[in-house]
Amino acid sequence: MIEQRIDHGLLSRFDHSLDPRHPEMSPIPAKILGYGEISTIFEILHESQQGLAYKRMPIFRAEHEMDRYERLFREYNRLLAGEIGIAVPDHASARVHPKTGNRVVYIVQEKLQPESLCHRLIHCLDHASVEDLLLVILRHMQRVWEFNARGGPLVIGLDGQLSNWAVKGYDPGHPCITAETKLSYIDTSTPLIRIDGVEQLDPDLFLRSAPSFLVWIIRAFFLKGVLDRYYDFHLVVVDLIANLHKEQRPELIPGFIAAANGFFSREAPHLAVAPITVKEVEAYYREDAFIWRLFLALRKLDRFISTRILMRAYPYILPGKIRR
């Protein structure tokens, strides 16, 4: 099991010596695999940790927050894999307690082939295969909304972006996507579960990395809308398609819209998903890109104020310039 492979002592030493401003200069060598909005994904370059990906989440202030989060993380993975039928990578979690500042939870997953990630596949597959890949993703996502449509008190949310899916058993030498292609869903570190309409993950955790002068604005005007969209099949697919701009493949958008609308009408009419339009996708992307550019710029300002003026530690690792 992956949990038995975690070197907790090495992980603690790695985190204690990590410079969030210059993570690549860590005394314990590591490679950054990717960034989330509040997290960074590392591969720790030590022979004992080969094949593991560590997602660092420095957002916790108390043990009970970590307890609740880890329970939800395990439950979310169990629901996806056990009840809904969406494969997830082998996974575990580990805690680090820095001497000062926020507590850290690392989500640990088996490291997947980079070539198997769907946001990379769209750059090497032919046009027909790319649209076939979209249909495979939609069929996997459909299972979530069919689970939610049962009418029970518990519903599941999903961030369906291409970068959150990987093709199981992908062979780069023989790229092939068929109706039988199986996927793994890898972004399980945000356990989106609602019971009787109540978000089980404390929404304030999402705000820990936000500049303090923005928290009340985000909580009042944006947070609910951001979370709501992950429970709406239509908006999840709009987000997936809109991000083709970020993935530098905007020419795929018309075909993806046509394929998605065809899927909704032919394969999922019982879910009554409204058709997607080009205008909607373009408007969504412009707004989303503006918000995240502004948010990153203000986080960099907040880091400057914290570290250079107030002389405080800043626990979050910020990405460099992101193409959007």
Q: How many CB atoms lie within 10 A of CB 18?
A: 24
d(CA 238, CA 119): 15
Q: Which residues pair with 165 in a beta bridge?
A: 185
Length of the chain: 324
DSSP string, 42-53: EEE-SGGGTTEE
Of 229, 204, 213, give the one whose Cα is nearest residue 280. Answer: 229
Q: How many CB atoms lie within 10 A of CB 228?
A: 13
pLDDT in tens, the chain (324 residues): 899 999 999 999 999 998 888 887 889 989 989 887 678 899 999 999 999 999 999 889 999 999 999 999 999 999 999 999 999 999 999 999 988 888 999 999 999 988 999 999 999 998 889 999 999 999 999 999 999 999 899 999 999 999 999 999 887 777 788 888 999 999 999 999 999 999 999 988 878 877 777 777 777 666 777 889 999 999 999 999 999 999 999 999 999 999 999 999 999 999 999 999 999 999 999 887 777 777 778 888 878 888 888 778 878 777 766 565
Of 79, 175, 99, 173, give the one whose Cα is nearest residue 133. Answer: 175
Domain 2-110 sits in CATH 3.30.200? yes
Strands 165-167 and 40-44: unpaired
Structure-token pair, residue 6: 């975690």
CB 76 within 8 A of CB 192: yes
Q: How many CB atoms lie within 10 A of CB 84?
A: 19
Structure-token pair, residue 13: 């030493």
Task: Give, as one character, the DSSP assignment of residue 1.
Answer: -
Q: How many CB atoms lie within 10 A of CB 62?
A: 10
> Rounded to an integer, what is the distance from CA 257 to the centroid of its chain?
22
Helix 233-242 and helix 127-148: axis angle, to 10°? 150
Give 238's contacts (C-beta < 8 A, 6+ positions apart).
276, 280, 281, 284
Give the C-alpha distances (Å, rounded to integers) separating 18 from 13, 24, 304. Answer: 8, 9, 18
DSSP string, 172-194: TTS----TT--EEE---SS--EE
Structure-token pair, residue 47: 């022979």
Max Cα distance, the chain (Å): 59
Count of alpha carbons within 13 angstroms of residue 264, beta-carbon side = 17
Strands 103-110 and 91-96: antiparallel
d(CA 230, CA 214): 22
Sign of CA pseudo-dihedral 273, 260, 152, 69 = negative
Within the chain, all domains assigned CATH 3.30.200 are found at 2-110
CB 263 within 8 A of CB 255: no
d(CA 212, CA 291): 17
Rounded to 5 degrees, φ, ψ at 94 are: -145, 150
Structure-token pair, residue 42: 């590392």
Give the C-alpha distances (Å, rounded to integers) separating 100 from 17, 33, 40, 241. Answer: 13, 26, 19, 41
Percent composition of the chain: helix, strand, coil (DSSP 3-state, to 5): 50, 15, 35
